[in-house]
Structures are given as structure tokens and as C-alpha cells.
Amino acid sequence: MSALKRIPLAGVIGSPIAHSKSPRIFKHWLTKLGIPGYYIPMEVSSVDLEDALRHLPQLGFSGVNVTIPHKEHALGLADQVSDRAAVIGSANTITFLADGKIYADNTDGYGFVENLKQNAPTWKAGAGPAAILGAGGAARAVIASFIESGAAEIRLANRTRSRADALRREFGIKVKVFDWVQVGNMLDGAKTVVNATSLGMVGKSEMRVPLDGLSKDAVVTDLVYAPLETPLLAHANSIGCETVDGLGMLLYQAAPGFERWFGMTPTVDDALRTAVLR
């Protein structure tokens, strides 16, 4: 056995991967906590994903994050799957177990809820109906986390209604589907509003939702974090709603993997936000 201490290694796999902010998050935490480890962005195509996941443990990796377009595929390749990854239907956090097995988890829903808890301390999933715009992979994680956190009613609208109907069938009667063209109606009495579409992102069209029916005590959050203040959040702010930007979800979803792979609990704070936005 080598007398040298093993250098802790982790990374993120995706395609494309150059834009990923995860390396900045992990570098900040590794430096702050004085851990002599590395977190490496890896461009891997779909055909190579299985080989990559099987060989990374042999190279000394403790685990990897998985991002677009591999999140569903990675779940299917895993030997063991957490309950929440199974419910969400995709994986973002892969841990290589001591026996070489692949354990898949999904921390997106955790990141979503933690961001709201930390930045809107009075927020509660069960306070009243949640209104979710969008029915893609991100919306699945949000719906699962609302259900797990005790929400009684989840209203859902999506441009392509069939995707929302499919989520309703999958997640059950707590989910109520609204027509995209009548999206304003689902805000009446809502206590949380979530944009889980890509609208409002730099370079995309704005999310145009009439907020007239929205009560001031609703918390409005956006999964889009570029820009930090999306037009939806600016509008919600202007009518007096509490708003939470989407960067926190990205930061909090990274924490469980860091803790598992590097053995220390990281903190999400302003210094991290600054490091990631720089």
C-alpha cells in the first residue's frame, strides 16, 4: 500500500460542460476548508457515459455531479438509487461506493427547498397552493420536493399541456393542471410561485404572467439565475411579494455531494455567491 495520502477527487460530467458553474463552487469550498482536493469539469458524450462512470473510481474519484444531457441516463446506469432520485427520475450526484458500485442521488429538490428556507425564512411548502410554470426536468424536481415537504396543492401550467398532464398522472391528485393561456388564474391564492421554464434567461423571451391575482404574501422564485433578477422577479418585487433568486438552488444542490466526497460540511454564503458570479 502506498504511504502517500490519496488526493480527494470529484468532478462534473456533461456536454457541453465549459459553462458549468460547479467547478467554481467546489473550488471555493476546497480552498476555504483547506482540502487538498480537485473538482474537474469533464466533457463526456452519451456513448461514453457508462465507460466514464465505471472507470472514474479506478482513477481515484469519489464521485461526480452529472448535468445536461446525462441526468436521466446516469440514473439508469446506477447500481443503487436514492428514493428522491427515483421519484424525480434523474440523477445529479453520483457517488462511487467502496465496492465500486454506482450510487445515484438527486439533490435538485433539496437545493430548491433549502434556497427558499434560507432566503425566505417564513416560507412553508404547506402554507397554501404552489403554482409552478413549466413541466421539464427542473419542474419534476420542484414538484417532488413540494410533495415531500407537505404541500397539499400543486398547480402546474406548461406551454405543451401534455407534459403537465403526464406529471399530473405520475405525481397524483395533489397536482392540478392549468392551461398555459390562463396561467394568471392559477396564481389566485397561490402562496409560492415558481418559474421552472427557461423563459427570462439571458437571450430568451421574457416570462409574461399577469400577476394581478397574486397576493402580496406569496413568495416568488425563479430557477433562472442569469440574470439574477429576472423580469418575473422584478415584477413580483414591484407588487410587494417576497422574491428569491435561483442562484441559491444551484449552490445548495452542490452541498450534499461535497460533503459526501470531501468529508466536510460546506457553507453557502455571500462569499460563495460572489465567487460564483465573478
Active-site residue among 5, 21, 71, 174? 71
Residues 95-134 that bind ligand ATR (CB under 6 A): 134
* Per CB under 6 A, 20 contacts ligand ATR: no
Choices 22-30, 118-126, 165-173, 198-206; region in contact with ligand ATR by CB under 6 A: 198-206
Taking the complex as a whole, the smallest distance from the CB of residue 163 to ligand ATR amounts, in Å, to 5
Angle between helices 270-277 and 22-33 (to 10 degrees): 130
Rounded Cα gap, residues 157 and 132, in angstroms: 7
Q: Residue 180 class from Cβ within 10 Å (0-12 exposed, 13-18 middle, 19+ buried)? A: middle
Among 85, 190, 199, 201, binds ligand ATR (CB under 6 A): 199
Taking the complex as a whole, the smallest distance from the CB of residue 223 to ligand ATR amounts, in Å, to 7
Half-sphere exposure of 96 (CA within 13 A, CB side): 19
Residues 145-174 that bind ligand ATR (CB under 6 A): 158-160, 163
* Residues near 247 by beta carbon (within 8 Å), at least 6 away in sequence: 225, 228, 273, 276, 277
Among 48, 198, 213, 260, binds ligand ATR (CB under 6 A): 198
Q: Which CB sits closer to ligand ATR, 126 or 210?
A: 210
Q: Which CB sits closer to ligand ATR, 40 or 211?
A: 211
Cβ proximity of 143 and 163 under 8 Å: no
Question: Catalytic annotation on 71?
Answer: yes
Q: Which CB sits closer to ligand ATR, 145 or 158?
A: 158
Three-state DSSP class for residue 199 = coil
Residues 208-247 that bind ligand ATR (CB under 6 A): none
Question: How many other C-beta atoms are found inside a 10 Å radius of the C-beta of residue 170?
Answer: 13
Q: Which residue is nearest to ligand ATR (CB)?
A: 136
Strand ranges (E), the chain: 9-14, 38-43, 61-66, 80-81, 93-96, 102-105, 130-133, 154-157, 175-178, 192-195, 219-222, 242-244
Q: Which CB sits closer to ligand ATR, 156 or 255?
A: 156
Residues 128-147 that bind ligand ATR (CB under 6 A): 134-139
Which residues of this chain interact with ligand ATR, rule CB under 6 A? 134-139, 158-160, 163, 196-199, 205
Return the active site residues. 71
